[in-house]
């Protein structure tokens, strides 16, 4: 199966360097017209410059592709709307949105300022919300769209010193889950990518020998699959060092204990049964939990 993006238009946020740059270059190399968005700030979100985005655009054009640069902050909804309008004015459609922009403000929760917690949420979560909202009507009208969220193992599984980052990254998975359901009838497929890569965002998290094995370009194949016409929906793909995995949010079969006065004691005594992962499922929607619980309750009432 050949993956190509001829005739497609993509917006990649945070594309001035690291993963975003690799994403933009790869999409363009396979035929997509790409808006390269980057505020040009430091790793912690401070400052700003258009130089990084312009440099990536020059790379794409030098290779024979089409691209334009944009310096909007994803935290500014009006600026994001203007970015989307600029894309439409140039190319008349938007097929792909890769929400890649992000910052780090790492500290243990005890030492973290609330302002730093909110800022990381604002960039990662609300930045993606702003971009999704700005393209949503376009994608529904054209009955086609591919949206890639950038989540993280820090959100899926936790990481010391990254409570703000982890909370934002897990929230993006929740956003993906609902948007994929709401977009299904318009062929809008929404997925998440959890990358492990050596970028300025991760340079302080891994030893140097690990960083050499974690090339940002190794993550790109997963993005290309999730942005392609053949993409799944509601998938969480993990990628790094040439390896690929899938993460899932599952539901165990659990137990029924009823409403007795000792329900809490029964639950405590049987918690291992509740957490038993044998026959666990990946629910198709949030209603699955209630359906499972009602089914167990009704079966007990008939017993």
Q: Which residues pair with 34 in a beta bridge?
A: 10, 67
Do 98 and 21 contact (CB within 8 A), yes or no?
no
Q: What is the pLDDT of residues 39-55, one digit of tens each?
A: 985 555 555 568 999 99
Boundaries of CATH 3.40.50.720 in the chain? 9-247
- 3-class secondary structure, 236: strand
Share of the chain above pLDDT 90, in %: 88
Q: What is the pLDDT of residues 236-282, one digit of tens each?
A: 999 999 999 999 999 999 999 999 999 999 999 999 999 999 999 99
- 3-class secondary structure, 195: strand
| Cα 68 off chain centre by | 23
| Cα 113 off chain centre by | 25
**CB atoms inside a 10 Å sphere around CB 182:** 12
The CATH number fitting domain 9-247, selected from 3.30.1450.10, 3.40.50.261, 3.40.50.720, 3.30.70.3280: 3.40.50.720
Q: Is 144 a catalytic residue?
A: no
Residue 68's alpha-carbon distances to 15, 45, 136, in angstroms, are 11, 22, 21
pLDDT over 70 at 202, yes or no:
no
Q: What is the pLDDT of residue 203?
A: 60
Q: What is the pLDDT of residue 47?
A: 52
Which one of 144, 157, 165, 186 is the catalytic residue?
165
Average pLDDT, the chain: 94
């Amino acid at each position: 199966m050949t993956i190509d993006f001829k005739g497609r238009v993509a917006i990649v946020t945070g594309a001035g360097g690291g993963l975003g740059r690799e994403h933009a270059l790869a999409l363009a190399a396979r035929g997509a017209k790409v808006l390269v968005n980057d505020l040009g700030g430091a790793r912690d979100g401070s400052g700003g410059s258009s130089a990084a985005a312009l440099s990536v655009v020059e790379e794409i054009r030098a290779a024979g592709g089409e691209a334009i640069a944009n310096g909007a902050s994803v935290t500014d909804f009006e600026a994001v709307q203007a970015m989307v309008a600029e894309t439409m004015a140039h190319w008349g459609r938007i097929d792909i949105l890769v929400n890649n922009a992000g910052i780090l403000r790492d500290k243990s929760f005890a030492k973290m300022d609330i302002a730093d917690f909110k800022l990381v949420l604002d960039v990662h979560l609300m930045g993606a919300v702003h971009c999704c909202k700005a393209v949503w009507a376009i994608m529904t009208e054209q009955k086609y769209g591919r949206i890639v969220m950038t989540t993280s193992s820090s959100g899926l599984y936790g990481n010391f010193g990254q409570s703000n980052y982890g909370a934002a990254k897990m929230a993006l998975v929740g956003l993906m889950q609902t948007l994929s359901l709401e977009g299904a009838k318009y062929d809008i497929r929404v997925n998440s990518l959890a990358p492990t890569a050596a970028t300025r965002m991760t340079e302080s998290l891994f030893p140097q020998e690990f960083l050499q094995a974690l090339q940002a370009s190794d993550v790109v194949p997963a993005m290309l699959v999730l942005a392609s016409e053949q993409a799944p929906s509601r998938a969480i793909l993990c990628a790094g060092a040439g390896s690929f995995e899938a993460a899932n949010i599952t539901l165990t079969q659990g137990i029924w204990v009823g409403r007795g006065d000792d329900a809490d004691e029964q639950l405590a005594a049987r918690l291992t049964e509740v957490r038993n992962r044998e026959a666990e499922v990946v629910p198709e929607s949030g209603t699955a939990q209630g359906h499972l619980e009602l089914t167990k309750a009704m079966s007990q009432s008939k017993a």
